[in-house]
Chains A and B, each alone.
Chain A
Amino acid sequence: MVRAVFEAKQASYRYPDGRAGITDASLAVAEGESLVVVGANASGKSTLIQLLGGLIFPASGEVCAFGEPLTESALARPDANARFRRRVGILFQEAEAMLFNPSVRDEIAFGPLQLDLPQDDVRRRVDDMIALFRLAAIADRPPHRLSGGEQRKVALAAILAVSPEALLLDEPTSGLDPRSQRWFVEFMQELRAMGKTLVTTTHDLHVADEIADRIVVLSEQHTIAAEGPRHDILTDLDLLLSVNLVHEHTHIHDGVIHLHPHTHLHLHDHHNGNHR
């Protein structure tokens, strides 16, 4: 039986101002699985990532990681915190907040250094990441001088430098130009093939189609509206319409106004290359 890396049991979270972040969320993410969380804006995707990443804690319900309850008191223990942070990497939606070091090189070194890896190991990891992500030309530049795509790449290199088992990726492709977006999707596919556990949030159904094994759909009421295999979710237009992930499209044929759900999604069959 494949063990669950993350598990949420009826977890709810409210922000200090009373807004609901997520309500009664129950889900499990198996080891090596690529789970995509889709939902409209403000549906609770980032809140879910923060809960699974041990940055906020549920007001009710429970979140577990690697079979252990993920609580504030558990992460207050330095050994447990270091163990968890070594195993889980989080890519934030805003790269700006993630890149707080004076140079790209320092940014990549930050995580391994906090986890007390020897300096020589850290240097080797930094050099490897710079080579892997082709960052040599910008390695000594401050992050605020980089383009959006470069910033996102540096942020990903920074979390991979710790070599986590699981990655929580919050809207990794939003706001990127098509080439950068393509690069990211292909990189996530490589991570998935490598056996890393991925939890990715997005409202882009094309991205979900390309990287998901399973999809969780969040409603605008911050609850889990559905979960299931990629194909089942992405072909359920009524579901996608109800959670504001596709829209009703009005157009005229022969003088008659038609109204129907609209999506540009063409599903891939990853096994035989067919398109639907």
Chain B
Amino acid sequence: MLPDWVADTAPLRSAPRSVSERSIARTLRESARFLEQALSAEQVARRPGLLQRLDPRAKAASIVGLILVAAFLHHMLSLLLIAAFAVLAAAQSRVRPAELLNRVWLLVPAVFAVVALPAALDLVTPGSPLLVIVRLDRAPSIGPLHLPAEISLTRQGVAAAGLVVTRILLGVLLAVALALTTRWQDLLKAGYSTVTAPFILILAMMYRYLFVLIRVIEDMHLARRARTIAPGTAALERQWVGSRIGALFLRSHRLSERVHDAMRARGYTGSPKTLTQFRFGAREGVWVTACAMIAAAALVCDRVVWAGLAW
């Protein structure tokens, strides 16, 4: 028999405050959503384009090769030659410039602050001053460390910083082109070998079950919101998040046990094996040759043609 009070809708004892999400819950929900969107962004990889049609191993090996060659170049023009090739290949792969460059620009402030600015100062790269940043009456000393009275950007420093930044951004550009045009599972397979097999298997499973756990987090959040009449205090919110982290840990532990049972049931004994689908056809041959020619051209220009240029 249901108790009588079930038939009545309980009146609110006071007017509820506005039900706005606390920052912790909002962060949790939005992080989960961002992660899912970021990891599932495979739309570009599904477009019919030049890079998408290539075998992932051939593509990954050639792009890693270009990144390595870029690390040995000393002139900005040589780096820009490879960058132009990457942008052209991306355009042929139906990757819009904004899709490619937005991901690269994200790193610019960090690279600038951590690498470029210190490298351009005369403290790191001595040379002819270009712009004085700090000028003091006398040289300060901090313990045994003696600093100059004047700190400035040097011409040589700016050139070195520009080169390093361009090199890093070119590496990122190439890596983004590879990641955007290759599905996650293909990218993982590209790195498969007898030695890397256990790591690849773990990575693939982490990637796959991340989505399951994200869904669990979202369900927990929605279940709580559905029963929230008035917002709780920040302490209660932290308590809730803490308890959910614990619950999620237990759940992922149980899931991992069931996954292991399922693997054992299908004959897994600790040494993973995968279906190798490596194909090296005419398309891959043309692509690898083109990459090799660009790399060779960049090296020759860098060491011979542009050898006398400062940049």
**A contact residues vs B (CB 8 Å cutoff):** 50, 53, 55, 78, 81-82, 85-86, 89-90, 92, 94, 96-103, 105-106, 109-111, 113-116, 119, 122-123, 126, 140, 142-144, 158-159, 162
Residues of A within 8 A of B64 (CB): none
Is B50 among interface residues, defined by CB-CB distance under 8 A?
A: no
Chain A residue with Cβ nearest B185? A102
**Max chain A CB contacts within 10 Å: which of B205, B275, B276?**
B275
Output the least CB separation between A120 and chain B (Å).
Answer: 11
Residue from B188, B212, B258, B268 in contact with A92 in the complex, judged by beta carbons closer than 8 Å: B258
Residues of A within 8 A of B250 (CB): none
Which residues, 176 to 219 on B, are CB-close (under 8 Å) to A? 183-185, 188, 204-205, 207-209, 211-212
Where chain A touches its partner, the secondary structure class is helix
Bound form: Cα–Cα A77–B171 in Å: 49
A94→B266 contact, CB < 8 A: no
Pairs A–B under 8 Å by Cβ, sample size 14: A55-B264, A89-B265, A90-B265, A92-B261, A94-B258, A100-B263, A102-B207, A103-B185, A110-B266, A113-B275, A114-B267, A114-B269, A144-B211, A162-B266
Residues of A within 8 A of B230 (CB): none
B259→A106 contact, CB < 8 A: no
**A106-B185, A113-B274 known; A143 vs B208 contact (CB < 8 Å):** yes
Which residues, 202 to 260 on B, are CB-close (under 8 Å) to A? 204-205, 207-209, 211-212, 255, 258-259
Output the least CB separation between A18 and chain B (Å).
Answer: 17
Chain B residue with Cβ nearest A143? B208
Output the least CB separation between A160 and chain B (Å).
Answer: 11
A115→B208 contact, CB < 8 A: no
- Report the 4 A-B pairs with minimum CB-CB distance, sorted nearest first: A102-B185, A114-B267, A97-B258, A85-B267
A114→B261 contact, CB < 8 A: no
Is B273 among interface residues, defined by CB-CB distance under 8 A?
A: yes
B255→A97 contact, CB < 8 A: yes
Bound form: Cα–Cα A119–B254 in Å: 33
B262→A82 contact, CB < 8 A: no
A81→B208 contact, CB < 8 A: no
B204→A102 contact, CB < 8 A: yes
- Taken residue by residue from 264 to 304, chain B's Cβ proximity to chain A (1 for < 8 Å, 0 otherwise) reads as 11111100011110000000000000000000000000000
Output the least CB separation between B12 and chain A (Å).
Answer: 37
Residues of A within 8 A of B207 (CB): 102
B212→A98 contact, CB < 8 A: no
Residues of A within 8 A of B262 (CB): 90, 92, 97-98, 100
Bound form: Cα–Cα A89–B267 in Å: 10
Known pairs A100-B208, A162-B267 / 10 extra A-B pairs, C-beta < 8 Å: A55-B265, A85-B267, A92-B261, A92-B262, A97-B259, A101-B208, A102-B207, A113-B275, A114-B268, A144-B212
Chain B residue with Cβ nearest A110? B266
B205→A100 contact, CB < 8 A: yes
Residue from A116, A126, A140, A158 in contact with B266 in the complex, judged by beta carbons closer than 8 Å: A158
Chain B residue with Cβ nearest A109? B275
Residues of B within 8 A of A78 (CB): 269
